[in-house]
């Protein structure tokens, strides 16, 4: 259906101080503050916050929120499966459906339908295969709101196998050094664990305390990470020389890491492609492992979805907008949509 | 192989510890053949240069392939040209492609024509991975910053030699270095104990100089003044002049050959040997000011007219090599012969070297060089007094004092407690930031290079007539803490009003207190003013920009016309 004055999402989607807001449904998507109604795309802390009255999320995302914020993170937790079409609150019907985003376990894109117009908000997403979550699907829509975390043509994420091999080569070359790798506790950690196992690495992998709960949660969803040992359970830390230790990025330079023997610091992140960024993080072994789209994946997604308009958010909007316009789409930075309406 | 080289550069780049860097480089040297490894050393030392392969070549080629808007946004984000291009270059592999070795690459780049180079470069970049592209681009455009200083590199080479039981020290390598040329095969064979020590005695080369430490307040208590000779610190440029047989050369303190800039000085200088001194504006033995010398700096080929208008000369303060014929000079007795062979006297004490220097200067009369007289200071009060006089000397060619240990040999580098410099205090000016640019290396994702300026006229009086105008007087990038760097970065992002490539123009609202060593007239700046060693002293978040300093008053205080 063509977009009209009557149903164009620019009239019913707004950027408010608390976040992206759907007016007729009186519902936010990934709000930054506690609100009445919140759709949560995935469990990362910048998207999922505690304290909303109503939360709509996939069962896995809801489980992650419970691990992070406690059983009672919200009084009304609505578990919505992928592909299940539900009606949101509000006088006039707005329908919502989740589709996999391929970002982390439970991560979803949000399809909103209102007066025949279809809007997809991707949340964070990627297209490269990831055994720790359901793969992204391209959903036809009129307005496609895409993230642009790596929205510059310099970003080309190599296959994860290649990066895992880099880690294994380093372990062989510097067999006396503890390979401390910075990974985000949710998603990246589990993906690196699976990647190492897939590459045939069978030794125990050691984990910082901050990783444990989420690794256990993934295990309840059926993932097999082989033998994982908490660093706090290791009696003689000198035994960690030559082993792999996963820790959150913030722990790489803090006191905790100083007690490990002869550390070689690695970091698994899409940002590691930029040399200066790697230096800033103090990483000697950059592993370009990203849970977001690289440039080509962003462009492929836009072409496949083939919407009428592309709204860009969450990152380097300028370049992706420029490119989307060159590809013939109406494109704008999402931040401006909200300001126009005010 | 190129791949191996690229892996080495990457590993060196990301490795933090010097020990680990040494392991990596020595492993590479041990497992790579000649001349490959020598070219790699040249690339690391910055001694590999190509005439037709430059930064601009690369920029031109990438803009033929990538949307200029996307290129600009990418470059702005990455902050570094080679890396931006390495990522943006479109992959177009050819199944028949064969990667050249480094020596093949070097040979081609050094001999091929400009047009051939472009074609070949495109073909190479089409077939390389981003990491390999980065290596190739860095080879051509220079500035391969892998966190390995020239000095560190020589240390590692010495370690490599020692691991082969070669009797080699880092000093040996420092002393040989400027007489060697890539691909350093003779050096490497010597290090591996399978060749003789390279002989550079016949070559006119730079000998690394002895550098001074600034004299700190607490040094004054530690120093026994009678152990030191004092000299004036001349406000010119430090040079080394080398004369062997019929060849002569003038080097800067970092070893750049600057003979072409001062043909007049070189022509009139005839002392065989190697001398350390200061180059100054000088007419018939009378020293001029730094402002006069300024006219001669950065002129690759000075005209006869300029040479006549601003003649230069030398004040010599030390000798590394002197004519063999000058023997054990005593005050009364000198033997003067015109024999030209020279001998190394670096191992002698300063007092002895100065005696040799004076004797040589008396034997070989030189019209354009003066001897730097030494004297003794006895206590801190006298030192402070003399420095104040030296800094306020109306002739303007001294800028402080030097203290040099009497019994010290001439050791290259910056040995502790040997030479001290006691310069004038830094001066300050309140300037307004005009432009910002990203830094390099660790700082490349922050705006950390700033151009700042002064008001052309007093803005308070100018306000009625027109917009007050700033004129740039300099650029600085040092002097920030990491926290300040972040705050400034944030400020720049919020206050950007224009963009010229990587340079951002900002609101003229923030004041820096800029410290500098001296101000002088400059034709290159529209303001007519240039600063020596400007660095940001304080960020004046509190100071209204309209209260920053004005150009007319600044010029007046610093006697610039
Ligand atoms: Zn996320
Ligand atoms: Zn996110």
Q: Residue B31: which pLDDT band, with cuts at 50, 70 and 90?
A: very high
CB pair distance less than 8 Å for A273 and B87: yes
Average pLDDT, chain B: 86
Size of interface A-B (CB pairs under 8 A): 62
Number of folded domains in chain A? 2
* CA nearest to A154 within chain B: B87
Mean of pLDDT values over B355-369? 86
Task: Check whether residue A198 and residue A280 sit in a common domain.
Answer: yes
Q: Residue B110: which pLDDT band, with cuts at 50, 70 and 90?
A: confident
CB pair distance less than 8 Å for B14 and A285: yes
Q: Which of B82, B94, B64 is nearest to B130 (CA)?
A: B82
User: Could you report the per-residue pLDDT of B313-351, keeping only the tens digit for each?
Assistant: 999 999 999 988 877 666 545 566 656 788 889 999 999
Q: How far apart are CA A46 and CA A54, in angstroms?
A: 18
Task: Check whether residue A123 and residue A221 sit in a common domain.
Answer: no
Mutate to test the interface with B, among A277, A316, A319 (most CBs of B within 10 A): A319
A141 located within any domain:
yes
Burial degree of B381 (CB within 10 A; 0-12, 13-18, 19+): exposed
| Parallel/antiparallel/unpaired status of strands B511-516 and B286-287 | unpaired
Mark the residues whose beta carbon lies below 5 A from ion ligand 1: A 44, 124
Dihedral sign, CA of B31, B33, B34, B39? Answer: negative
pLDDT of B467: 67
Look at residue B464 and tell me whether its pLDDT is greater than 60: no
Contacts A285 to B, Cβ<8 Å: 14
CB pair distance less than 8 Å for A280 and B66: no
Look at residue B500 and tell me whether its pLDDT is greater than 80: no
Contacts B130 to A, Cβ<8 Å: 156
Query: Who's near B27: CB < 8 A, 6+ residues apart?
Result: none
Task: Check whether residue A175 and residue A258 sit in a common domain.
Answer: yes
Look at residue A199 and tell me whether its pLDDT is greater than 90: yes
Query: Who's near A227: CB < 8 A, 6+ residues apart?
Result: A203, A204, A205
Task: Point out the least confidently predicted range of A320-329, B410-419, B433-442.
Answer: B433-442
| Parallel/antiparallel/unpaired status of strands A178-182 and A244-247 | parallel
User: Could you report the per-residue pLDDT of B41-93, keeping only the tens digit for each?
Assistant: 999 998 888 877 777 888 899 999 999 999 999 998 888 889 999 999 998 99
Q: Give the count of beta carbons closer than 10 Å to the beta carbon of residue B247.
A: 10
Min Cα separation B142/chain A (Å):
17
Looking at the DSSP assignment, which residues form a beta bridge with residue A230? Answer: A207
Instruction: Answer whether B23's CB lies under 8 Å from B109's CB.
Output: no
A3 located within any domain:
no
- Cross-chain CB nearest to B84 (options A154, A278, A319): A154
Min Cα separation B337/chain A (Å):
60
Q: How far apart are CA B444 and CA A164, in angstroms?
A: 27
- Cross-chain CB nearest to B70 (options A282, A286, A319): A319
For A150, the 3-state DSSP assignment is: coil
Q: Does B389 touch chain A (CB under 8 A)?
A: no
In degrees and rounded to multiples of 5, residue B505 shows phi and psi of -90, 140
CB pair distance less than 8 Å for A280 and B130: no
Task: Check whether residue A282 and residue A300 sit in a common domain.
Answer: no
Look at residue A337 and tell me whether its pLDDT is greater than 90: no
CB pair distance less than 8 Å for A283 and B442: no
- For residue A44, the CA-to-ligand 2 centroid distance in Å is 7
Q: Does A170 touch chain B (CB under 8 A)?
A: no
Task: Check whether residue A140 and residue A200 sit in a common domain.
Answer: no
CB pair distance less than 8 Å for B445 and A152: no
Q: Does A166 touch chain B (CB under 8 A)?
A: no
- Percentage above 90 pLDDT, chain B: 40
> Can you count the helices (H) and strands (E) in chain B?
21, 20
For the domain spanning B427-557, the CATH number is 2.40.50.140
Q: How far apart are CA B153 and CA B151, in angstroms?
A: 5
Query: Who's near A54: CB < 8 A, 6+ residues apart?
Result: A36, A37, A38, A74, A76, A78, A89
Q: Residue A184: which pLDDT band, with cuts at 50, 70 and 90?
A: very high
Q: Does B312 touch chain A (CB under 8 A)?
A: no
Q: Does B482 touch chain A (CB under 8 A)?
A: no
Share of chain A residues as helix, strand and coil, in percent rounded to the nearest 5: 30, 25, 45
User: Could you report the per-residue pLDDT of B227-277, keeping only the tens digit for each?
Assistant: 999 999 998 889 999 998 778 999 998 888 899 999 999 988 988 999 999
Residues of chain B with CATH 2.40.50.140: 427-557
**Quick one: which H or E segment has residue A77?**
strand A76-79
Please state the pTM of the whole predicted model. Answer: 0.73
CB pair distance less than 8 Å for A282 and B79: no
Q: Does B78 touch chain A (CB under 8 A)?
A: yes
- For residue A222, the CA-to-ligand 1 centroid distance in Å is 22
Q: Does B80 touch chain A (CB under 8 A)?
A: yes
Query: Which CATH number do you get for residue A251?
Result: 3.40.50
The number of the ligand nearest the C-alpha atom of A104 reads 1
Mean of pLDDT values over A179-208? 97
Task: Check whether residue A248 and residue A313 sit in a common domain.
Answer: no
Mutate to test the interface with B, among A153, A158, A176, A287 (most CBs of B within 10 A): A153
Look at residue A134 and tell me whether its pLDDT is greater than 90: yes
Share of chain B residues as helix, strand and coil, in percent rounded to the nearest 5: 40, 25, 40
CB pair distance less than 8 Å for B80 and A275: yes
A185 located within any domain:
yes
- ipTM, 2 dp: 0.92
* CA nearest to A315 within chain B: B77
A209 located within any domain:
yes
For B170, the 3-state DSSP assignment is: helix
Look at residue B198 and tell me whether its pLDDT is greater than 70: yes
Q: How far apart are CA A176 and CA A198, in angstroms?
A: 24
Task: Check whether residue A139 and residue A192 sit in a common domain.
Answer: no
Mutate to test the interface with A, among B3, B138, B146, B444 (most CBs of A within 10 A): B444
The two structure tokens encoding residue B100 = 């050249």
pLDDT of B291: 75
Q: How far apart are CA B505 and CA B254, in angstroms?
A: 34
Residues of chain B with CATH 3.30.470.30: 213-423
pLDDT of A342: 22
Q: Which CATH number among 3.30.470.30, 2.30.130.10, 1.10.40.60, 2.30.36.70 corresponds to the domain B213-423?
A: 3.30.470.30
Task: Check whether residue A245 and residue A281 sit in a common domain.
Answer: yes
The gap between the terminal CA atoms of chain A, to the nearest Å, is: 27
Q: Residue A226: which pLDDT band, with cuts at 50, 70 and 90?
A: very high
Min Cα separation A285/chain B (Å):
7
Min Cα separation A284/chain B (Å):
5
- Percentage above 70 pLDDT, chain B: 94
- For residue A334, the CA-to-ligand 2 centroid distance in Å is 15
pLDDT of B331: 57
User: Could you report the per-residue pLDDT of B124-137, keeping only the tens digit for each?
Assistant: 999 999 999 999 99
A4 located within any domain:
no
Task: Check whether residue A69 and residue A169 sit in a common domain.
Answer: no
Looking at the DSSP assignment, which residues form a beta bridge with residue A112? Answer: A96, A119
A296 is in which domain, residue-wise?
A: 9-154+292-333
pLDDT of A1: 65
Task: Check whether residue A310 and residue A185 sit in a common domain.
Answer: no
Mean of pLDDT values over A43-53? 93
A270 located within any domain:
yes
The gap between the terminal CA atoms of chain B, to the nearest Å, is: 58
* CA nearest to B129 within chain A: A158
The two structure tokens encoding residue B123 = 């073909």
Query: Which CATH number do you get for residue A106?
Result: 3.60.15.10
Task: Check whether residue A296 and residue A258 sit in a common domain.
Answer: no
Instruction: Answer whether A77's CB lies under 8 Å from A59's CB.
Output: no
> Residues of B numbered 32-71 whose beta carbons fall under 8 angstroms of chain A's beta carbons: which are they?
66-67, 69-70
Q: Residue B403: which pLDDT band, with cuts at 50, 70 and 90?
A: very high
Min Cα separation B66/chain A (Å):
9
Mark the residues whose beta carbon lies below 5 A from ion ligand 2: A 124
Rounded to 10 deg, the angle between the A295-305 and A317-326 helix axes is 40
Mutate to test the interface with B, among A275, A279, A298 (most CBs of B within 10 A): A275
Q: How far apart are CA A303 and CA A294, in angstroms?
A: 15
Mean of pLDDT values over A8-13? 95
A81 located within any domain:
yes
The number of the ligand nearest the C-alpha atom of A42 reads 1
The two structure tokens encoding residue A308 = 């009428």
CB pair distance less than 8 Å for B83 and A274: yes
The alpha carbons of chain B give a radius of gyration, in whole angstroms, of 27
Q: Does B88 touch chain A (CB under 8 A)?
A: yes
């Amino acid at each position: 259906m063509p977009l009209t004055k009557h149903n164009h999402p620019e009239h019913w989607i707004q950027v408010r101080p608390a976040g992206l807001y759907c007016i007729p449904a009186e519902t936010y998507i990934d709000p930054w503050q506690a609100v009445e109604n919140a759709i949560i795309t995935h469990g990362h802390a910048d998207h999922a916050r505690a304290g909303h009255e109503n939360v709509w999320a996939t069962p896995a995302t809801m489980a992650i929120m419970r691990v992070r914020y406690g059983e009672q993170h919200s009084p009304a937790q609505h578990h919505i499966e992928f592909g299940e079409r539900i009606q949101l609150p509000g006088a006039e019907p707005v329908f919502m459906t989740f589709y996999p985003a391929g970002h982390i376990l439970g991560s979803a894109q949000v399809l909103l339908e209102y007066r025949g117009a279809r809007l997809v908000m991707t949340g964070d997403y990627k297209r490269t295969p990831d055994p720790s979550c359901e793969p992204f699907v391209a959903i036809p829509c009129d307005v496609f709101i895409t993230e642009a975390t790596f929205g510059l043509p310099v970003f080309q994420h190599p296959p994860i196998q290649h990066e895992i091999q880099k880690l294994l080569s380093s372990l062989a070359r510097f067999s006396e050094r503890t390979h401390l790798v910075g990974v985000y506790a949710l998603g990246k950690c589990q993906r690196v664990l699976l990647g190492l196992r897939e590459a045939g690495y069978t030794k125990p992998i050691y984990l910082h305390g901050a990783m444990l709960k989420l690794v256990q949660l993934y295990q309840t969803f059926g993932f097999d990470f082989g033998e994982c040992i908490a660093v706090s359970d290791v009696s003689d830390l000198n035994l960690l020389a030559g082993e792999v230790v996963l820790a959150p990025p913030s722990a790489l330079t803090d006191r905790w890491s100083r007690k490990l023997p002869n550390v070689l610091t690695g970091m698994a992140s899409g940002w590691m492609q930029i040399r200066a960024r790697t230096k800033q993080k103090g990483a000697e072994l950059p592993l370009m492992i990203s849970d977001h789209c690289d440039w080509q994946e962003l462009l492929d997604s836009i072409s496949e979805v083939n919407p009428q308009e592309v709204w860009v958010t969450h990152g380097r909007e300028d370049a992706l907008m420029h490119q989307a316009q060159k590809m013939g789409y109406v494109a704008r930075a999402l931040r401006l949509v909200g300001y126009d309406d005010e | 192989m190129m791949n191996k080289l690229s892996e080495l550069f990457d590993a060196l780049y990301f490795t933090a510890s010097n020990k680990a860097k040494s392991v990596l480089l020595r492993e590479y040297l041990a497992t790579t053949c000649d001349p490959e490894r020598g070219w790699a050393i040249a690339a690391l030392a910055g001694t590999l240069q190509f005439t037709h392969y430059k930064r601009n070549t690369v920029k031109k080629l990438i803009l033929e392939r990538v949307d200029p808007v996307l290129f600009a946004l990418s470059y702005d984000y990455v902050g570094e040209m080679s890396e931006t291009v390495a990522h943006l270059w479109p992959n177009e592999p050819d199944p028949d492609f064969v990667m050249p070795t480094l020596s093949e690459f070097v040979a081609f780049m050094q001999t091929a024509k400009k047009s051939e180079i472009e074609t070949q470069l495109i073909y190479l970049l089409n077939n390389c991975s981003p990491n390999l592209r980065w290596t190739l681009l860095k080879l051509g455009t220079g500035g391969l910053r892998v966190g390995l200083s020239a000095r560190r590199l020589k240390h590692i080479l010495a370690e490599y030699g020692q691991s082969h039981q070669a009797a080699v020290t880092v000093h040996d390598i420092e002393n040989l270095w400027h007489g060697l040329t890539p691909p350093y095969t003779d050096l490497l064979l010597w290090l591996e104990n399978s060749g003789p020590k390279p002989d550079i005695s016949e070559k006119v080369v730079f000998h690394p100089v002895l550098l001074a430490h600034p004299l700190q307040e607490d040094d004054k208590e530690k120093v026994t003044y009678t152990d030191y000779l004092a000299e004036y610190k001349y406000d010119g440029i430090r040079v080394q002049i080398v004369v062997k047989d019929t060849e002569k050369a003038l080097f800067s303190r970092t070893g750049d050959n600057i003979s072409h800039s001062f043909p007049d000085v070189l022509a009139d200088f005839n002392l065989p040997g190697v001398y350390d001194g200061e180059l100054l504006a000088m007419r018939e033995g009378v020293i001029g000011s730094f402002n006069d010398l300024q006219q001669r700096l950065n002129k690759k080929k000075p005209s006869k007219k300029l040479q006549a208008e601003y003649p230069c000369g030398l004040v010599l303060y030390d000798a590394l090599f002197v004519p063999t014929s000058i023997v054990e000079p005593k005050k009364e007795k000198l033997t003067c012969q015109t024999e030209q062979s020279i001998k190394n006297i670096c191992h002698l004490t300063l007092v002895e070297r100065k005696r040799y220097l004076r004797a040589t200067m008396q034997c070989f009369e030189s019209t354009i060089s003066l001897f730097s007289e030494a004297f003794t200071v006895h206590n801190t009060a006298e030192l402070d007094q003399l420095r104040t006089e030296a800094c306020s000397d109306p002739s303007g060619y001294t800028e402080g004092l030097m203290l040099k240990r009497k019994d010290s040999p001439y050791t290259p580098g910056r040995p502790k407690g040997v030479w001290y410099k006691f310069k004038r205090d830094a001066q300050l000016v309140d300037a307004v930031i005009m432009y910002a640019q990203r830094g390099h290396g660790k700082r490349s994702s922050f705006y950390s290079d700033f151009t700042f300026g002064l008001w052309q006229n007093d803005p308070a009086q100018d306000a009625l007539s027109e917009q007050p105008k700033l004129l740039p007087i300099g650029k600085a990038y040092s002097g920030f803490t990491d926290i300040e760097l972040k705050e400034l970065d944030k400020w720049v992002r919020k206050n950007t009003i224009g963009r010229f490539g990587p340079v951002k123009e900002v609101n003229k609202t923030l004041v820096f207190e800029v410290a500098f060593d001296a101000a002088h007239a400059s034709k290159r700046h529209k303001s007519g003013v240039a600063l020596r060693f400007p660095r940001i002293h304080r960020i004046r978040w509190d100071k209204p920009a309209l209260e920053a300093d004005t150009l007319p008053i600044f010029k007046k205080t610093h006697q610039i016309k």
